[in-house]
Amino acid sequence: MPDGDRPARGEEDAVAKTTSDEAAPLVRIEHPSVAERAAAGKAARAQVPRTSHGEWSPQPNRPEPLALLAAQEVTRVPELVPIRHGRMAASPFAFYRGAANILAADLAAAPRTPLHVQLCGDAHLVNFGGFASPERNLVFDVNDFDETLPGPFEWDVKRLGASIEIAARSRGIGRKRRSKIVRHSIRSYREAMRTFAGMQNLDLWYSHLDAADLYARWGQDLGKKALRSFQKTVTKAESKDRLKAESKLTELVDGEPRFRSDPPLLVPVEELFGDTDRHRIEDQIRASLRSYRHTLQPDRRHLLESYRYVQLARKVVGVGSVGTRCWVVLLVGLDNNDPLFLQVKEAEASVLEPHLGRSGWANHGQRVVEGQRLMQATSDIFLGWEQMTGSDGRRHDYYMRQLWDWKASADVDTMGPDLLKVYGEICGWTLARGHARSGDRVGIASYLGSSDSFDRAIARFSALYAEQNDLDHAQLTRAIGDGTISAAPGV
């Protein structure tokens, strides 16, 4: 472009996202200088001091936690809701995993910074993990985006910090050591953000964390036992693929692979409905798969089209997600030894929306996918979205991805203090990378600064909120005990 045709410094035309298929309007994108971005980050300290993040107490009008859970369950599959209650009642940490909407309501009552990023929305320890990149490397990243939405960066950081504190309590780790573990994890976030702030844009975009990086960065901090456990997890993840899913989830019936029946966790569609409803639902799934293909890149669409549909089953997943509609689709390619499992998972409104505003995407499945693509260094090649009419006559949004593809998740319930510290640091670094991709990394790094003021504040908040989480968990267990709430423990 000739110099005379260039836009003014700090301005360029760009295409805005849209919720329709019409051409998106052109909007003006501002490009402040690094110095201006850093100044804005420091100015945010006056609005929301870093030490203020350590302050938390329940508001006099705090919403009733069980009422929040009940409101969330109105649209869920009724017979599965007791499973959710049973899983959340298992421990304070399990309760916390399922209570993202409770924390969101609590955070909404506190001051918030103007430094917005694409939030994961549910950044607790178990929502990080390993999976296969398209290049067939085991990468570590945030791996759950059901609640993703733009918002103040510290909401994710507080969700992570409190989850570390609660997990450490469950392992019997003392107060001072718990605080130190949380501080180290948040320091990892802060220092990583400072590093990302100094990186060129493309270098940041290509930044990722694979198994070799994990060994190189944190291997020296692991004891021999923890290192063996880590190596075992990596090996196990690389074997947890579609062939492992085939051997565990299916069996041959008349020469054709079919889903095993394991109610209520895995139920073939023909066991859930009569012939008329089953055929209607399967026809919907087939039609949705055809439509969903158009949310994929053309080359990946071509690959998907090489598989044929075999069977459908309903699957129960997670803790907080239990009761949402989740299907698994079995497809085969070359022959029966060439399976592909797609997870078709319902996406409802983010729990953050009542406090941060509605999503800019018309389909919540697309909200999940776009948030995931923005935060993750690399994503599943079959990640896409669709909308279907359920048996209740309502339209439901869904997103699709592979069921298993080298899935690795940390066993927080067995972690000792040294491994928990390292794992928290890994999660802190990873969350910072996701935030740096989507928000103003220079402004956030400037706000955080080089001192440990923010780290200590999040540690204080985490300890305070863990106490509240204990009370909320106890309230659930009492309600289950007196029969006010139904639960299916151990499922």
Q: For residue range 324-343, what is the model confidence (pLDDT) as tens digits? A: 999 999 999 999 999 999 99
Per the prediction, the chain carries an average pLDDT of 91
- Under a CB-based contact definition with an 8 Å cutoff, are residues 162 and 103 in contact? yes
Q: Quote the CA–CA distance of 325 and 309 in Å, as a whole number.
A: 20
Determine if the peptide bond prior to 264 is cis (ω within 30°). Answer: yes
The answer, yes or no, to whether residue 145 has pLDDT greater than 90, is yes
pLDDT band at 24 (very low <50, low <70, confident <90, very high): low
Q: Rounded to 5 degrees, what are φ and ψ at 311?
A: -160, 165
Question: For residue 14, how many other CB atoms are within 10 A of its CB?
Answer: 10
Q: State the pLDDT at residue 259.
A: 96
The answer, yes or no, to whether residue 464 has pLDDT greater than 90, is yes
Among the ranges given (229-233, 338-342, 486-490), the one the predictor scored with the smallest mean pLDDT: 229-233
The answer, yes or no, to whether residue 222 has pLDDT greater than 50, is yes
DSSP 213: H
The answer, yes or no, to whether residue 233 has pLDDT greater than 90, is no
Q: What is the mean pLDDT of residues 447-465?
A: 98
Q: State the pLDDT at residue 221.
A: 80
Q: What is the mean pLDDT of residues 56-85?
A: 95
- Under a CB-based contact definition with an 8 Å cutoff, are residues 200 and 393 in contact? no
Which candidate, 69, 146, 63, 139, places its Cα nearest to that of 107?
Answer: 63
Residue 433 Cα to chain centre, angstroms: 14
Q: Quote the CA–CA distance of 313 and 338 in Å, as a whole number.
A: 19
Which pTM was predicted?
Answer: 0.92
The answer, yes or no, to whether residue 175 has pLDDT greater than 80, is yes
Angle of CA points 17, 352, 421, to nearest 5°: 105
User: CA dihedral defined by 458, 463, 464, 465, rounded to 10 degrees?
Assistant: 80
The answer, yes or no, to whether residue 463 has pLDDT greater than 50, is yes
Give the amino acid at 413: D
The answer, yes or no, to whether residue 457 has pLDDT greater than 60, is yes
The answer, yes or no, to whether residue 389 has pLDDT greater than 90, is no
3-class SS of residue 334: coil
Q: What is the mean pLDDT of residues 304-328?
A: 94
For the chain, which residues make up each domain, given as ranges? 47-237+414-481, 242-402
Q: Quote the CA–CA distance of 221 and 426 in Å, as a whole number.
A: 12
